[in-house]
Structure formats: C-alpha cells, structure tokens
C-alpha cells in the first residue's frame, strides 16, 4: 500500500508574546498508509489537535513538511489548497459547536458542496444530502430540522455526513467521541469503521485516552509536549508499551478483570504537565519520568525504530547509553 500522508520534521510554533514561543508540535515525523487508521493519543495540551490542524493547513506550519498524496500541502497556492479540501476533511470533537445552530441539516450538509461547486443542480444536491443522511444512519426526514433537535450522537452523525459530502479520501477525526455518552461512543466508532470499509477512507484519529483509540487504530503515536514519544501497532503498544509515558497512560486505563488489575504494576504520573512554552531540557518527559537519569536532562532522545515497526524516543532503549540488562524495568 501507498503512503497517503507523509509528515516530516513538522514544527508548529506559536508566538505568545514577550518573545516567548509555544512549541505545540516539535519535530514530528510519521507516515500514514492508504486505508489505515492512525491513532494519535496524549493529554490535553500535548499538541495533537494542533498537529491535525497543521496537517490540514488550517494553521500555517513553522518548519518541516506535510505531503498528501505526493503534494506538499503547505507549499501550494491557496487555490490548489482549497481543492485539496475535497480530499482531506475533519470531524470535530464537539459536533454542536461545529454545526451552525441557525442552519437546517440540509443546509449544513450541502454547504461544502455549494462552496466547492459540486452538484450544481439543487435537486441533485438534495438527493445527495438524503443519501449522506442514510449513510450515517439518519434519514431524509431529518433534513429540515435544526441541530438542537438532535442528540449528541445524532449531531456527530450530521458532522460526519458533512465531512463526507465532498467524498474525501482522508479524514482527521479530532476526538470525535470524547464529548459523547459512553453508550453512544461505540455506535459512532462502528459507523466510522463501516464508512472506512465502504469508501476506503484513511483516518487520523485523535484521542486523549488510549482505550478510545485502541480498537479502531492500526498504529498509534503517543504524544507528549509536542513530541511523538512512541509509535507502534496498537496491539503491541497496548500489550508491551516501551516508553515510560505510554506505560503511565496505560495505567490509567482500567482492566475489567480484577485479578489482572491486582497484578498490574501501576505508574502514577507525578507533578504537573510542564508548560510547552518552557519545556524541560533533554527529554521532555524527564520531570515526570520515574526512570529519569542524568543523561535525560542533557540529551534529547530521538524517535528510533528499535524493532520492526516499533519506534520509541527514550534513552532506555539506546544501547550506547543504557545497558538494558542492568536496568530494572520492573520498577516502572
Ligand atoms: Fe524517562 Fe529518560 Fe526515557 Fe525520557 S529518556 S522517558 S526521562 S528514561
Ligand atoms: Mg484537542
């Protein structure tokens, strides 16, 4: 399979006054294969939403590059970038905030088609709206209603229908289920999976909780303070996390089996998430890492493939720095 998206050394910095810089995304590199679901997980403030928006060019980038299907998305004229939105779309966390309360569902879903000059005939466009409503589990009777008449889950379905209106190939899902009731979350995940299969979609799926991305993702990148600290296929990440931060995130996920729960070593994160305006020197995780050593303050670990497809940014896995046999990982 082809790589549909290639992100190379991407940086997104914000100037926040008094010559201070917020490094929201700092030197991030990864690729997404066509048809894949690539999860990005991390605490709020880790840069995952900024990463999504910078990929979609909703933000200008600071450095590095993003290639979608071979096109450098930050390097093309506005007009071409606009056309690119037919292929790259976004589903937002809060469907209510992202749907205009004064527009009917029909208007909301047909707006992108109008803006992009698709289905110029009104009747054809309306048929397309009906079709999209059915694809997301709603129906044509919903077309003339307003967002407030729907439940949270239904509103997210409307948001998904709108994202699908331009028949994109790649969708960034920015915490699409975080604001929904637990009972509804699985329905939306199932819908996204069905649509992916039917339409051959590729997803970048952003979440703050590993349990939310585990089942839908093929591979997962864990972010901390603007950096990817671990990147691996989702089963391996879940069963055998390498990075101490991944370990801590997993400790926060409850295991349904009480026996397993009892035997598990827990890592509780100490201290606050440091400010991305003034991140720690060396490894950005070192102020909260139970295994931090002197080297961690001096040298920034780079994301390195330590095994086939398993990438981690931690000195513990650098044989030149650490002797693994003498490091007691059970303390983690
Ligand atoms: Fe912890 Fe050091 Fe690894 Fe960073 S590099 S995660 S501080 S052991
Ligand atoms: Mg966010």
36: domain CATH number is: 3.40.50.300
* Phi-psi domain of 69 (left: phi exceeds 0; alpha: psi -120 through 50; beta: other): left
Q: Is residue 309 part of a domain?
A: yes
Q: What tokens does 73 get?
A: 């998305």
Q: What's residue 179's pLDDT?
A: 86
pLDDT in tens, 288-299: 999 999 999 999
Instruction: Give pLDDT < 50 ranges for the chain.
Output: 330-332
Q: Which ligand approaches the C-alpha of residue 315 most closely? A: 1
Of how many residues is the chain composed? 332
Same domain, yes or no: 108 and 196: no
Q: Ligand 1 pocket: which of 227, 281, 285, 312 to mutate (most atoms <8 Å of CB)?
A: 285
Same domain, yes or no: 153 and 296: no
**How many domains are there within the chain?**
2
Same domain, yes or no: 277 and 321: yes
Q: What tokens does 41 get?
A: 């997980």
Question: What's the rounded Cα separation, in Å, for the pair 297 and 286?
Answer: 7
Q: What's residue 255's pLDDT?
A: 63
Q: Is residue 23 part of a domain?
A: yes
Q: What's residue 321's pLDDT?
A: 73
CB 295 within 8 A of CB 317: no
Q: What's residue 18's pLDDT?
A: 83
**Ordered strands of the 21-33 beta sheet:** 21-33, 3-15, 63-68, 71-72
Which one, of 170, 167, 136, 174, lies nearest residue 154 by Cα?
136
Q: Is residue 149 part of a domain?
A: yes
Pick the residue whose CA is nearest to atom 3 on ligand 1. 314
Same domain, yes or no: 113 and 245: no
Domain hosting residue 269, numbered range? 3-87+168-331
Task: Give the position, in ligand 1's atom list, of the atom nearest the Cα of 284.
Answer: 4
Q: Is 226 in the pocket of ligand 1 (CB under 6 A)?
A: no
Q: What's residue 108's pLDDT?
A: 96
Pick the residue whose CA is nearest to atom 7 on ligand 1. 286
Same domain, yes or no: 148 and 69: no
Of the candidates 167, 197, 215, which is a domain's last residue?
A: 167
Q: Is residue 96 part of a domain?
A: no
Q: Is 267 in the pocket of ligand 1 (CB under 6 A)?
A: no
Same domain, yes or no: 42 and 129: no
Q: Cα of 315 to ligand 1 centre, how many Å?
A: 6
Pick the residue whose CA is nearest to atom 5 on ligand 1. 314
Q: What's residue 13's pLDDT?
A: 96
Same domain, yes or no: 112 and 260: no
Alpha-carbon torsion (267, 271, 273, 275), positive or negative: negative
Question: What's the rounded Cα separation, in Å, for the pair 256 and 223?
Answer: 26
Rounded to 5°, the CA angle 275-277-283 comes to 70
Same domain, yes or no: 129 and 185: no
C-alpha distances in angstroms, 187 versus 1, 24, 160, 183?
29, 32, 13, 8
User: What is the reported pTM?
Assistant: 0.92
Q: Is 315 in the pocket of ligand 1 (CB under 6 A)?
A: yes
Q: Is residue 42 part of a domain?
A: yes
Q: Is residue 234 part of a domain?
A: yes
Task: Give the position, in ligand 1's atom list, of the atom nearest the Cα of 293.
Answer: 2
Q: What's residue 265's pLDDT?
A: 61
Give residues with Cβ within 8 angstroms of 45, minimum separation 6. Answer: 225, 273, 276
Q: What's residue 262's pLDDT?
A: 57
Q: What's residue 115's pLDDT?
A: 94
Q: Cα of 27 to ligand 1 centre, how many Å?
A: 18
Q: What tokens does 132 get?
A: 């999209």
Same domain, yes or no: 182 and 280: yes
Q: Is residue 92 part of a domain?
A: no
Of the candidates 167, 186, 205, which is a domain's last residue?
A: 167
Identify the DSSP state of 274: P
Q: Is residue 21 part of a domain?
A: yes
Question: What's the rounded Cα separation, in Å, for the pair 41 and 223?
Answer: 6
Same domain, yes or no: 77 and 173: yes
CB 166 within 8 A of CB 86: yes
Q: What tokens does 254 get?
A: 């409850």
Q: What's residue 168's pLDDT?
A: 97
- Map tokens 């450095």 to a residue: 63
Of the candidates 167, 197, 214, which is a domain's last residue?
A: 167
Same domain, yes or no: 112 and 251: no
Same domain, yes or no: 208 and 275: yes
Alpha-helical (H) ranges within the chain are 48-55, 78-84, 95-98, 105-115, 122-135, 152-164, 182-199, 210-213, 234-239, 244-251, 258-263, 294-298
How many Cβ atoms are within 10 Å of 52's Cβ, its own excluded?
22
CB 131 within 8 A of CB 140: no
Which one, of 49, 136, 51, lies nearest residue 93 by Cα?
49
């Amino acid at each position: 399979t082809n790589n549909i998206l290639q992100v190379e050394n991407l940086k997104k910095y914000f100037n926040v006054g008094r010559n201070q810089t917020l490094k929201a995304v700092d030197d991030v590199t990864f690729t997404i294969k066509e048809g894949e679901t690539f999860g990005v997980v991390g605490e709020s403030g880790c840069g995952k939403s900024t990463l999504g928006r910078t990929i979609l060019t909703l933000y200008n980038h600071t450095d590095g590059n993003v290639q979608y299907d071979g096109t450098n998305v930050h390097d093309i004229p506005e007009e071409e970038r606009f056309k690119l939105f037919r292929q790259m779309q976004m589903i937002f966390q809060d469907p209510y905030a992202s749907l205009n309360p004064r527009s009917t569902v029909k208007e909301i879903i047909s707006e992108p088609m109008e803006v992009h000059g698709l289905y110029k005939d009104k009747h054809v466009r309306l048929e397309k709206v009906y079709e999209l409503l059915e694809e997301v589990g709603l129906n044509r009777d919903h077309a003339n209603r307003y967002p407030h008449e729907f439940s949270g889950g239904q509103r997210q379905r409307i948001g998904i229908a709108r994202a699908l209106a331009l028949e994109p190939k790649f969708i960034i899902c920015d915490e699409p289920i975080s604001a929904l009731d637990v009972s509804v979350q699985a329905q939306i995940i199932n819908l996204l999976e069905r649509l992916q299969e039917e339409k051959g979609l590729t997803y970048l799926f952003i979440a703050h909780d590993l349990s939310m991305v585990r089942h839908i993702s093929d591979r997962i990148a864990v972010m901390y303070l603007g950096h990817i600290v671990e990147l691996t296929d989702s089963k391996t990440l879940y069963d055998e996390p390498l990075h101490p931060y991944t370990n801590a995130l997993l400790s926060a996920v409850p295991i349904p089996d009480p026996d397993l729960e009892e035997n598990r070593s827990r890592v509780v994160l100490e201290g606050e998430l440091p400010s991305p305006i003034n991140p720690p020197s060396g490894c950005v995780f070192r102020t909260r890492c139970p295994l931090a050593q002197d080297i961690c303050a001096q040298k920034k670990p780079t994301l390195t493939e330590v095994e086939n497809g398993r990438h981690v940014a931690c000195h513990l896995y650098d044989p030149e720095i650490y002797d693994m046999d003498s490091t007691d990982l059970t303390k983690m």
